[in-house]
A and B are shown apart, each in its own frame.
Chain A
Amino acid sequence: MKLKGRYGSFGGFYVPEVLIPALEDIEAGFERFRDDPAFVAELDELYRNYAGRPTPLYHAKRFSELVGFQVYVKREDLLHGGAHKVNNALGQGLLARYMGKKKIIAETGAGQHGLATAMIGALFGFETKIFMGSIDIARQNVNVHKMKLCGAEVVSVTGGSCTLKDAINDALRYWTAHIDDTFYLFGTAGGPHPFPMIVRHFQSPIGREARQQCLEQIGRLPDIVTACVGGGSNAIGIFSGFLDDKSVRLVGVEGGGKGLNTHEHCATLTVGSVGILHGARTYLLQDENGQIRETECISAGLDYPGVGPEHSYLKDSGRAQYTAVTDKHVVDVFNTFTRCEGILPALESSHALAWLVTQKGKLPKDTVAVINLSGRGDKDVGIIEQYTK
């Protein structure tokens, strides 16, 4: 591997030897095409006219009134497919096409990355396989149907906890046996190098646009940028635009599930410890022997016991802070925000909104907080209904 993919002591590529040639292949392809003028122009055109970039930055005035400071919403929920996942799927999908691949696979939790990959599979005429935990298939059935309509095959994963981590395991296993002709379109800013670097790159338009929009609309940088963190792709996408602006406080919000005093959460950075999973040295939720814990969270998209290695680095270096909110707070804010603004936020993104609510009364009125509304909540209406029962 040309680059080692280290973020301080985190990251790397801790994978079985057999995967190394495949990772090297993707790294070489990415290095070759990332700045290639034809690639950049084509991706830019797809971002604009297929996905709907740039997304607006919206001043949520009624919600701002409620929390007592100024909340600006980066509307990634308006993108095609309903979430930021399309940014990365388009980027990697186009990369796969430039590299001459015809088959793609992906893992998915909530189904948003699976859906984005299935869309891109249809767009580019790929043969597409999506690995998804059987529990996630049950709780995100609409997305499963959409993936199939796009022509993708959805593989039900039944090993282990039947959620995202097991979908990644099975996708890696499948890739190991099919690396000759298959591109693994990894969905989050985690996993082995070069995925964290590639996913960050293709999600970075979020942060770049948000920074520019703040300067144009507010005339200054925000005080706070917040996003939910599961694997951490939407968060790294928006954080990346502000990392060098030391005055901007970066806050990642994890799934506190039923509470941090239980094991039913996915607050990896908040209460986890360092180890190695899915190819990266990073914070994990694990037992004292190093066995990975099964996580639980109302939002399938955050339900993962690891996290992208750059977030581990940002935590330890103090550049970003990470915290967690419980399912109950998330459901409350989902309802509140929808009633205030007429926007249904994804349960994932609602975690960041819920953290903003916890800051009520603690921040001056002219504080500007940008929240990455990474996806829309239409997919979660059934879950909210069930939870409220």
Chain B
Amino acid sequence: MSVYQNLFKTLHRAALIPFFVIGDPDETTSFELVKTAIDAGADVLELGIPFSDPVADGPTIQKADIRALASGMTPARAIAFIQRVTAYRPIPIGLLVYYNLLIQYGMEKFFTDFKAAGGTSVLVADLSIDDADEIAPLVQKAGLETVFMVTPNMTEERIKEVACRTTGFIYTVSLLGTTGERSALSDAVRPLVQKLKALTDKPVCVGFGISTPEHAKEVAAAGADGVIIGSRIVKFIESNLTDPAAMKSQVADFVGNVKRSLQGGTCPRG
């Protein structure tokens, strides 16, 4: 059974999955923030390697990428960073990466190095399920899990293909668009999660536009196994660029609040 399936089975509630761009705003602060999120209750981490042209991301994460690149982050340093994170606390790490970075690093070497650093899964932001063959065999050969995306406008045939090719979790995009905060959660989330749950027993995590503890709770109530929160968290960095202490305390408070809302009302079983 996969790392994620094991984890989600034992949690008895939706997993909390914060997202960070590695090296945002700089390597040292980034590491402090990731530790803060772990200490505040993150169950899994979703980490992104910064890319110069992140077309799947909205302005908040694009700016984070620019900050991280300006501070000197590279794919090799990102892998060393992940090694330090897993040494601090063994926690499943899902990686979000743009395809060109993998290709230039060398795909097999990248997956081997990421696995050795303690990584768990790989999601390639600009690779659709049509081209899953280009990475899936190499990901699995390295002992890693695959993550693919399901979107609200996807045909059932493609969703089944995703379910079949996924060995980690299905990353469900809750709305049409790029990453970014939204004031209200898309109406598409509940029916989409329910549809997925009916089609597959693979874990389903929801991301894009989840900005408040209430959103997280709603997503969990819809039946998701995990809640991925990206732009809202990255925004704490953007809003406090001159004050790392404020970044840390705001990330800690927010992650803690979301965690409590995911735990709230559910008595720990077992």
Contact = CB atoms under 8 A, between A and B. Distances in A.
B187 interface: no
Interface in B41-63: 51-59, 62
Nearest to B63: A159
Contact of B52 (A19, A176, A292): A292
A278 B148 CA distance: 19
- Between A17, A19, A169, A284, the greatest number of chain B beta carbons within 10 A of the residue's beta carbon is seen for A17
Nearest to A20: B128
B151 A17 contact: yes
Interface string A260-287: 0000000000000001111100001010
Contacts of A275: 100, 103-104
A284 B100 CA distance: 10
A276 B177 CA distance: 21
Interface stretch (A8-16, A212-220, A315-323): A8-16
B125 to A, nearest CB: 6
Interface residues of A, number: 35
A18 interface: yes
Contact of A16 (B53, B55, B130): B55
Contact of B55 (A180, A278, A284, A291): A278
Contacts, number: 108
Given A173-B58, A177-B177, A278-B55, A16 B126 contact: yes
A279 B51 contact: no
B91 interface: no
Contacts of A290: 51, 75, 100-105
A29 interface: no
B258 interface: no
Contacts of A1: 130
B100 A177 contact: no
B55 A173 contact: yes
Give chain A's interface secondary structure class. mixed
B51 to A, nearest CB: 7
Contacts of A17: 128-129, 148-151, 154, 173
A176 B100 contact: no
A197 to B, nearest CB: 16
B153 interface: yes
B54 to A, nearest CB: 8
Given A14-B127, A173-B178, A291 B153 contact: no
B251 interface: no
B153 A21 contact: yes
Given A176-B177, A290-B100, A290-B103, A14 B131 contact: yes
Contact of A286 (B62, B104, B149): B104
A289 B105 contact: yes
A15 B154 contact: no
A179 B178 contact: no
18 contacts: A14-B99, A14-B131, A15-B126, A17-B149, A18-B149, A18-B177, A20-B128, A20-B158, A159-B66, A177-B176, A178-B176, A275-B103, A278-B55, A289-B101, A290-B75, A290-B103, A290-B105, A291-B69
Given A286-B104, A290-B105, 16 more contacts: A14-B126, A17-B149, A17-B150, A18-B176, A20-B128, A20-B154, A159-B59, A166-B53, A169-B55, A176-B56, A177-B176, A289-B75, A289-B101, A290-B101, A291-B101, A292-B52
